[in-house]
Amino acid sequence: MPSPLHCKPLRVGLLGFGVVGSGTCAVLSGNRATITARAGCAIDLTHVATRTPERARAAGAAGVVLTDDPLALARHPDIDVVVEAMGGTDLARRCVLAAIAAGKHVVTANKALLAQHGEEVFAAAQAQGVSVAFEGAVAVSIPIVKALREGLVANEIEWLAGIVNGTSNYVLTQMRDEGRSYAQALGEAQALGYAEADPSLDVDGGDAAHKLALLAAMAFGGAPRLADVHVEGIRHLQACDFGHAARLGHTVKLLAVARREGEQIQLRVHPALVPSAALLARVDGSMNGILVKGNAAGVTMYCGAGAGSRETASAVVADLVDIARALRGGGSPRQIPALGFHHEVQPVRTAAPLEALRLPQYLRVPLADAGAARQVREVLAAHGITPVQQDESPQALALLTSETEEWRAAGAVQDLARQPCVAAPPTRLRVEALA
């Protein structure tokens, strides 16, 4: 192998100098010697497109060409790879497609872009014979894309389940461990910079749905199918749900689940009870954790930071090194397909209707008076639901059911909400055994 001194550097153009862009710049320069030794050639940040050039200069991006025109940079002849770190889905999409059209490889951590426009972007890249890498788009620094696309490539994936949104996990952890209300916990997360001023994308499950669409495409084939993901957020959870859950041997997490059911695939993001003894129950604060069940590997688990500038940059730079190594080896970075499949194994699987779901349920029913609990059990019995475990307080009856159909559980909750013995609308959460 030639010494790296005789090897052409990989020339990187960076679009955006916010959290991800500045982290990428810092990691490339701070760890330069090690990255060069591992890649086999230098990875040079040569161009940056940003609206805040002074910020980029201050951050040590001196020596690179600065511009405020991302589209021009995306097509720049002196660049081998474009790193899209702008965020958003409109200008980012046009820049990524322009870079691909100009024959550039693309690295992005933009989950919204790929979940919504992945089919178009990946098709364009395939037609041009360039690579679109996105390790940073799914689980920050956890190399889960590499695990699914390469490490677990020998497996039929049966299911995957993960905590893939750090903000909502921080909120849920504060509610459980500090007894905070949802509003208090969210306020703290915003004060700490873990949550945006508008937290909707995080707490309503949208961000987790973007990531799940990408994970499922790598696990089962097909394009990312955001529209097929059933999404529920965490706004309706109350601190008391964590107490009930704990006494019932569980904790509440916002889960992203993709599960193969015959020729269909379940795609869902919702808060769920998981057994307290499960490793995933201990993935707390702003951490992310993902379980993958393969028919050869069994269950493997991946955990790491759920947010962060350098943490995301770790994944972005890993994608750059993959590209540098492939080019240096005389091959094509396209040797590994963006989503892991060179061709579909079979007609793309359809989404399983939520109605087909059959899981144990957690119900918390606010009680109007002393005798109410008995009446609640009678209503449930009338719907064919028998509690397998209960935790009663003067205010509420919380219980776990055996496996129950969605329609049956939803119907019982509607019926209960109408009963005089029930003081307020019940809360229903699904229970995931993670097995």
**Catalytic residue numbers, as ranges:** 211
Between β-strands 10-15 and 43-49, what pairing exists: parallel, antiparallel or unpaired? parallel
370 belongs to the binding site for a copy of itself (CB under 8 A): no
User: By CB under 8 A, is residue 433 in contact with a copy of itself?
Assistant: no
Site for a copy of itself contains 29 (CB under 8 A): no
- Taking the complex as a whole, the smallest distance from the CB of residue 306 to a copy of itself amounts, in Å, to 10
Q: What is the footprint of a copy of itself within residues 253-282 (CB under 8 A)? A: 277, 279, 282
Cα–Cα distance, 358 to 406 (Å, whole number) = 6
Q: What are phi and psi of 152, to 5 degrees?
A: -110, 20
Please identify which residue in 63, 88, 298, 384 interacts with a copy of itself, judged by CB under 8 A.
298
Measured distance CA(153)–CA(336) in Å, rounded: 11
Helix 309-328 vs helix 19-30: crossing angle, to nearest 10? 60
Among 239, 240, 246, 297, binds a copy of itself (CB under 8 A): 297
Q: Which residues 371-400 are close enough to bind a copy of itself by CB under 8 A? A: none
Q: How far is the CB of 281 from a copy of itself (least distance, A)?
A: 9
Site for a copy of itself in 52-91 (CB under 8 A): none
> Which among 318, 288, 315 has a CA at the least distance from the CA of 304?
288
- Binding residue (CB under 8 A) for a copy of itself from 8, 29, 31, 368: 31
CB of 209 to a copy of itself, least distance (A): 23
SS3 category, 353: coil
Query: For residue 198, what are the β-bridge partners?
Result: none
The rounded Cα 175 to chain-centroid distance in angstroms is 21
Restricting to residues 307-326, name those near a copy of itself by CB under 8 A. 308, 310-311, 313-318, 321-322, 325-326
**Residue 395, phi then psi, degrees to nearest 5:** -85, -35
Instruction: Kindly state whether residue 418 participates in binding a copy of itself, applying the rule CB under 8 A.
Output: no
Q: Which residues ranging from 95 to 124 are in contact with a copy of itself (CB under 8 A)?
A: none
Interface pattern 335-354 for a copy of itself (x via CB under 8 A) = xxx--xxxxxxx--------
Per-residue contact flags (x/-) with a copy of itself for residues 211 to 250, judged by CB under 8 A: ----------x-----------------------------
Residue found under tokens 């809360």: 427
**What is the CA 254 to chain-centroid distance, rounded?**
11
Q: How far is the CB of 19 from a copy of itself (least distance, A)?
A: 13
Pairing state of beta strands 264-275 and 350-351? parallel
The sign of the torsion formed by the CA atoms of 228, 153, 306, 254 equals positive
- Candidates 52, 300, 402, 419: give the one binding a copy of itself (CB under 8 A): 300
Which string of x and - marks every residue 124-153 that binds a copy of itself (by CB under 8 A)? --x--------x-----xxx--xx--xxxx
Residue indicated by tokens 């081998």: 80
The verdict on 21 binding a copy of itself (CB under 8 A) reads no
Residues 6+ apart with CB under 8 A from 216: 160, 224, 225, 258, 265, 267
